[in-house]
Structure 1
Amino acid sequence: MINRRIILAGVAALAFTASASAADWKAKYPELTFAVVPAENASGVTERWAPFVSYLSKELGVKVTLRIANDYAAVIEGQRAGNIQIASYGSASFARARLTGVKTDAFANDINADGSTGYYSVFFVKASSPYQKVEDLKGKNLGLVDPNSTSGNNVPRFELNKMGVTDAETYFGKVVFTGSHENAVLALSQGTVDIAANQWTSDNDSTLAQMLTKGMLKNADGSPMKKEDFRIIHKSAPIINGPYAYNTDLPDDLKSAIAKAFFDAPTKDKAAFDRLSDGQKKGFHPATTKDWDGTIDLIKFVDSLRKKAS
């Protein structure tokens, strides 16, 4: 009886301590801001993320507000200032944040439908064009995404360098930052650029696939474009999926609660989770900041190319 009472008292004490600890961080953080960079138009981002953010609010017991950042730099600076507690990063933007002293730590990244945790940077051209390889496009217009985009700028420049193109701005007639993955594909479909860099996991899991599903791409006669209207002429080595990261200085109990909410999402709110990726992801993979050390080396290399070019 005594032992049982002691055990019960210990359990009660632990529960009280956990409850008090949660109350402490909830008092300090009655609202959390979760920032994402739009790969699509703002309304599409809201539709995709709103159910998941509502799920997070319910699981954490505090309001979680979705912030759709204008670009990767806004996420980096928001975390630097402490205005963003949780962020969805691309690999390169996370590496940039770490390189510039932002106190942010990775805790998860996406698991693809096939169980892998990576994707690719590809160069797309229109299938009706004569271009079969990057070397065919000297003097033509290149569409990139954002200076801090992994698959839309940094890896493409790394890949171009391997082909002997050390300065894209002089090799191509024009290099355009389109602002988002969707805009890069739109620029290609409309003929504004002749080649576009973008992210690609599989034929059914890419920005192009999502845009085709939504009927966003049209031919000149107004008919819907198809997957066969585009051709990949170069694909990079696998890139680690970008991380979800929280501020390093958050209380440990809060960080644990955030990570647990993510890992539980596929079973606790499958509809909200599936909405994030059109059902193309299996879950969240536990990750650590060190998993992106290789990306930091890549960013340093691309920075060195820019210095040489200038």
Structure 2
Amino acid sequence: MKKIFSKMILVMVAALAVTGLAGCGNGNGNATAEQKKDSPLKVIFYPNESAAEFEKSRDALKDIISDATGRKVKIVTTTDYNIVIESIANGQADLALMGAEGYIQAHKKNPDVKPIVTNSGASGTLEDALYYSFIAVKEENEKNYQSGDGYTIDPIKGKTFSFVSNSSTSGFKVPSSAIVKEFGLKDSDELINEGKFFDKVLFGGSHQGSAVNLLKGDADAAAFMNLPQYFDVADGEENKTGMLYQVKDDAEAPFDTVRGEKARVILSTPVLNAPIAANTKVMSQKEIDQVVEALTSKEVAENEDIFAPKDSDQAALFVKEGDERFLEVQDKFYDPIRELSK
């Protein structure tokens, strides 16, 4: 697995202040599990997973966690990656569904933040617990990126490029590392300083937003993760370089304005699945064990509100193609992402 990632580079980000999670001076950031046992567990989600169509998934997780712990659960949706990172690190949130890079940043801020589960691959194991990071261009421009029988990212230099967030694993860290390596750059700072490598740099704020930046023509190329909830494969092999993605005719917002539009993937890179992380200072070990036991159960693996069958019309946080389920995971699982900074 490390071979996939071992030669890429990390970029640090500035954290933003959290709003709406805790009032000033309430002390939640320093509260212990014992002090918080009578308050609701707060489960926070990245902007991507905060989309309206995933409400059933979030509510299902809310009920499962509440039943497992005997505590009320509050769901917190966000519009910024850094809110999630800061919230789980300072104890204003108890659990977070976050990307690998965001988890690593939160763990660095506070070692009490630890991953507890992630979603498996179709095998039902961690061996294929992967999703994909894309660099894509609009179909009408794909000829500029063809190289022999394949595609090259070389023409992206000097263009307008859209990333997701500089805290995103698959929407920034992985693609930026690939670009740094391909062009022999010093580091990814060169990519976010407009006029240095890219003429203009956009941040979509979510994978959906970055993809829409491309499809609306605001960006010449864009980074985003595979999004089977919104796209069909019109040509090529799913999740592979060269695949042509087409927005579904019934795609929800923000894709409702670009239905039918197509994007060609000129680079696809596998990425480790995201963890659900816990702040182990504000949650007791007993509660964490209860949550892990519940989430890794067969009942949850078969819950279509969370793991929707691939051909289902229902949107869910995870697509089920085989034996996908939640599995317990340890911090060391994300070492290959840490390798990107070396």
* TM-score range for the pair, normalised by the shorter chain length: 0.7 to 0.9
CA distance in 1, matches of 2:319, 2:197: 37
Query: Residue 10 of structure 2 corresponds to which residue in structure 1?
Result: none
Query: Residue 268 of structure 2 corresponds to which residue in structure 1?
Result: 235
Q: CA deviation at 1:148?
A: 0.5
Equivalent positions of 1:152-191 (< 5 A) are 152-164=171-183, 166=185, 167-168=190-191, 169=193, 170-191=196-217
Equivalent positions of 1:18-29 (< 5 A) are 28-29=37-38
Q: Deviations over 1:49-76 (max 9, x none)?
A: 1222123222322111111123221112
Query: Residue 8 of structure 1 corresponds to which residue in structure 2?
Result: none
1:98 aligned onto 2:129: no
Q: Deviations over 1:212-251 (max 9, x none)?
A: 36424899xx78315xx21110122x32111111112222
The residue type equivalent to 1:254 in the other structure is: E
CA distance in 1, matches of 2:306, 2:335: 28
Task: Compare the two structures and name the one with the higher helix fraction.
Answer: 1
Q: Secondary structure at the match of 1:191?
A: coil
Q: 1:180 to 1:265 in 2, by over 3 A?
A: farther
Q: CA deviation at 1:127?
A: 1.2
Q: 1:61 to 1:282 in 2, by over 3 A?
A: same
Equivalent positions of 1:214-253 (< 5 A) are 214-216=250-252, 224-225=259-260, 229-236=262-269, 238-249=270-281, 250-253=283-286
Query: Residue 289 of structure 1 corresponds to which residue in structure 2?
Result: 331
Q: Secondary structure at the match of 2:205?
A: coil
CA distance in 1, matches of 2:246, 2:60: 18
CA distance in 2, matches of 1:200, 1:223: 17
RMSD, matched Cα = 3.1
The residue type equivalent to 2:324 in the other structure is: K
Q: 1:284 to 1:188 in 2, by over 3 A?
A: same
Query: Residue 307 of structure 1 corresponds to which residue in structure 2?
Result: none
Equivalent positions of 1:1-310 (< 5 A) are 28-39=37-48, 42-115=51-124, 116-129=128-141, 130-132=143-145, 133-164=152-183, 166=185, 167-168=190-191, 169=193, 170-200=196-226, 212=248, 214-216=250-252, 224-225=259-260, 229-236=262-269, 238-249=270-281, 250-264=283-297, 266-267=299-300, 270-274=303-307, 275-279=316-320, 282-298=324-340, 300-301=341-342
CA distance in 1, matches of 2:258, 2:179: 34
Q: CA deviation at 1:114?
A: 4.8
* TM-score, length of structure 2 as denominator length: 0.70
CA contact (8 A) 1:218 1:225 kept: no
CA contact (8 A) 1:96 1:296 kept: no
Q: Greater Rg, structure 1 or structure 2?
A: 1
Q: CA deviation at 1:113?
A: 3.0
Aligned residues: 272
The residue type equivalent to 2:107 in the other structure is: R
CA contact (8 A) 1:40 1:180 kept: no
Moved over 3 A (4+): 24-27, 201-206, 208-211, 216-219, 265-269, 278-281
Q: Secondary structure at the match of 2:324?
A: strand
Q: CA deviation at 1:266?
A: 4.0
Q: 1:88 to 1:218 in 2, by over 3 A?
A: closer
Q: CA deviation at 1:261?
A: 1.3
CA contact (8 A) 1:266 1:283 kept: no
Q: 1:112 to 1:184 in 2, by over 3 A?
A: same
Query: Residue 11 of structure 2 corresponds to which residue in structure 1?
Result: none
CA distance in 1, matches of 2:298, 2:43: 16
The residue type equivalent to 1:244 in the other structure is: I
Q: Secondary structure at the match of 2:133?
A: strand
